[in-house]
Amino acid sequence: MNQIDDFFRSRLDQMIDLRKPLAVLATHIPWQELEASVAHRFARQVRTGKEIADVDLFGPTVAVVGGVISNAGRPRLPMRLMISLLYLKHTFNESDEGVCERWSETPVWQYFSGQEYFEDRLPCDPSAISRFRGLLGEEGVEELLVQTIMVGMKLGLIERRALETVIVDSTVQSKAVAHPTDSRLLEAAREKLAAAAKAHGICLKQSYAKEGRDLARKAGRYAHAKQYRRMHKTIRRQRTILGRLARDIERSKTVLAQSIQQTLDPLLSRAHWIAEQSRRKKTTKGRDKIYSWHAPEVECIGKGKARTPYEFGVKVGIVTTLRGNLIVGVRSFPGNPYDGHTLVEALEQSSILLQDTGVKPKTVYADLGYRGVDAEIPEYALKHRGKFKRLTPKEQQLLKRRQAIEPVIGHLKSDHGMNRCHLKGQIGDAIHAVLCAAGFNMKWLLRQIAQKGIRPFFTHYFLAWIWQRIQKLSLWGELPRQKSWPQIAGNPA
């Protein structure tokens, strides 16, 4: 019955213009190789049974649960569909929900995803994209970035020697957190502790819900009016009620199960540290501040900007080609290290990503933040403004292109979602940075395909086959040979 229905439907390749850059790119990406490179991350995990205490007719016993894998349930969605959704999401700066909605309305996107017929429905639940991204991990999304580089080389959009000279710079990938203030953090800690106590059945003497909201509101008003004495008095009261709530939970948790106590201990520790850091105002040596309750990995990074002197997120190192501005490496660096200390790992990652191309970066152009680390990278030639007098005239000219990485960073943030990371934890920061770079490279490929006029893969080879047949015909044997096939049909490179 489905075959009869499809007989009366128009195929997507008959509905769209196959010369569109996204349709052309869909025929040049090696989907099977990409799926094979990440398939091992989706192998079914062996689940062992869990022993729990049970009671039967003969008394207490031990039962094993969770060890049987059921064959019921919906099968996984096609790998190409999920990979293409990640590509499209960061290429066009959409959310998980937005990319699903736009996919259901755009035939070219469905053709890029491997669909044969137009589907007026959502491709999947938006939460499936989140789970798929988590299963890929940092290594999996790096494969997506590698394929964008390989496609650019196979199409001749970037030369092999262009990969030998790179630019390195760092930026801050901001986390999706509110601006941290002592008052807001103390109120968030109070709310989370009260919610955790209620979830585990702990009866509190007082939750301070109404007073906590009023104190947070007063502290904001006093800060706006520059009445700092009143503001500090309000914050002291917030610390007092947070301490009372934490001590009440600590007294009550002793009668709870060991597993519940292990769940509450990290929350209590985090609440005590927030109260302590608001009291001291200075960072304790060897221990970082907490700037967000739900994202304790966030760091305060100052890059010397006039409009944003401090940014809250993680430092990201970016490696681009000097010619072409194609991203060949991106990596997050937790702990806010000095820029020069990130150079070794950034170049190591770019070398690994480029190993399939047979090319390795040799010359690195950077700003003055990377000076003094030549001994750590003996196999690379580091060029920066501090060595200007020792550079050759050609190297001095190329050094002026170091600033070309700045607009790349700007486009990563404004057009591909690096300005705000919503993924959880340090692994979420790493995955998001690589996916933003893959989205930038995809947009770069689409732009280059539109400029060069590259034909679809199957169209080019079909026309090439026709041209070869014409040349073999004796009737056309006297055709002028100086005009080769690429000059007549359009060079795909």
306 and 428 part of one domain: yes
Residues 6+ apart with CB under 8 A from 315: 170, 171, 172, 173, 299, 301, 332, 333, 334, 336, 337, 342
Q: Is residue 125 part of a domain?
A: no
The domain boundary residue, chosen from 254, 280, 306: 280
The reply to whether 12 falls in a domain is no
* Among candidate residues 272, 251, 260, the one with its CA nearest the CA of residue 190: 272
Within-domain flag for 476 = yes
Q: What is the dihedral of CA 422, 426, 427, 430, to 10 degrees?
A: 80
Burial of residue 361, with CB atoms counted within 10 A of its CB: 0-12 exposed, 13-18 middle, 19 or more buried? buried
DSSP element (H, E) containing 321: strand 311-321
The whole domain housing 210 covers 182-280
Do 232 and 303 fall within a single domain?
no
- pLDDT band for position 485 (50/70/90)? very low
Quick check: is 171 in a domain? Answer: yes
DSSP letter at 291 equals: -
Residue 212, pLDDT > 50, answer yes
The residue type found at 400 is K
pLDDT for the residue numbered 114: 93
CB-neighbour burial class of residue 473 (10 A; exposed 0-12, middle 13-18, buried 19+): exposed
**Same domain, yes or no, for 423 and 328?**
yes
pLDDT of residue 105: 94
- Of 53-57, 148-152, 437-441, least confident by mean pLDDT is 53-57
In angstroms, the CA 148 to CA 166 distance is 17
Nearest to 186, CA basis, from 292, 261, 283: 292
Q: Is 55 helix (H, G, I), strand (E, B) or coil?
A: strand
User: In terms of C-beta distances under 8 Å and separation of at least 24 residues, what long-range contacts does 94-102 make, across chains too?
Assistant: 95/126, 96/126, 96/127, 96/129, 96/130, 97/126, 99/129, 100/124, 100/125, 100/126, 100/129
- Do 204 and 221 share a domain, yes or no? yes
Q: How far apart are alpha carbons 82 and 136 in whole angstroms?
A: 11
Are 173 and 261 found together in one domain? no
Q: What is the pLDDT of residue 167?
A: 96
Task: Say if residue 409 is in the same domain as residue 381.
Answer: yes
Residues 312 and 337 in one domain: yes
Q: Which of 142-146, 319-323, 454-458 has the lowest mean pLDDT?
A: 454-458
Cα-to-chain-centroid distance, residue 6: 38
Contact between 200 and 263 under an 8 Å Cβ cutoff? The reply is yes
Average pLDDT over residues 471-484: 49
In a domain, 98, yes or no: no
DSSP 8-state symbol, 483: S
Task: Name the pairing type of β-strands 299-301 and 311-321.
Answer: antiparallel
CB under 8 Å to 435, separation ≥6 — which residues? 86, 89, 90, 133, 141, 144
Clarify whether residues 307 and 441 are in a common domain.
Answer: yes
Neighbouring-strand partners of residue 360 = none
Residue 63 or residue 204, greater confidence: 204
Residue 61 lies in a domain: no
| Range among 47-61, 156-170, 273-287 with highest mean pLDDT value | 156-170
Q: Are strands 327-333 and 363-365 parallel, antiparallel or unpaired?
A: unpaired
pLDDT in tens, 362-396: 999 999 999 989 999 999 999 999 999 999 999 99
Q: Is the pLDDT of residue 353 over 50?
A: yes
User: Per mean pLDDT, which range of 46-50, 56-60, 133-137, 299-303 is the poorest?
Assistant: 46-50
**CA–CA dist 100, 121 (Å, integer):** 9
Query: Which whole number is the average pLDDT over 169-195?
Result: 95
Q: Same domain for 259 and 209?
A: yes
Tell me what the pLDDT averaged over the chain comes to: 87
Is 478 in the same domain as 356?
no
Q: Would you say 370 and 382 are in contact if contact means Cβ atoms under 8 Å apart?
A: yes
Q: How confident is the model at residue 58 (pLDDT cuts 50, 70, 90)?
A: confident
The confidence band for 54, taking pLDDT boundaries of 50, 70 and 90, is confident
Residue 360 lies in a domain: yes
At 66, list the tokens. Answer: 């969770």
Can you state the angle between helices 258-280 and 228-252, rounded to 10 degrees? Answer: 160
Lowest mean pLDDT among 64-68, 270-274, 340-344: 64-68
- Kindly state the average pLDDT of the residues 101-130: 94
Are residues 309 and 371 both part of a single domain?
yes
Number of separate domains in the chain: 3
For the cut 50, the answer to whether the pLDDT of residue 483 exceeds it is no
Q: Please check whether residues 217 and 328 belong to one and the same domain.
A: no
Rounded Cα distance, 236 and 179, in Å: 20
Within a domain: residue 8?
no
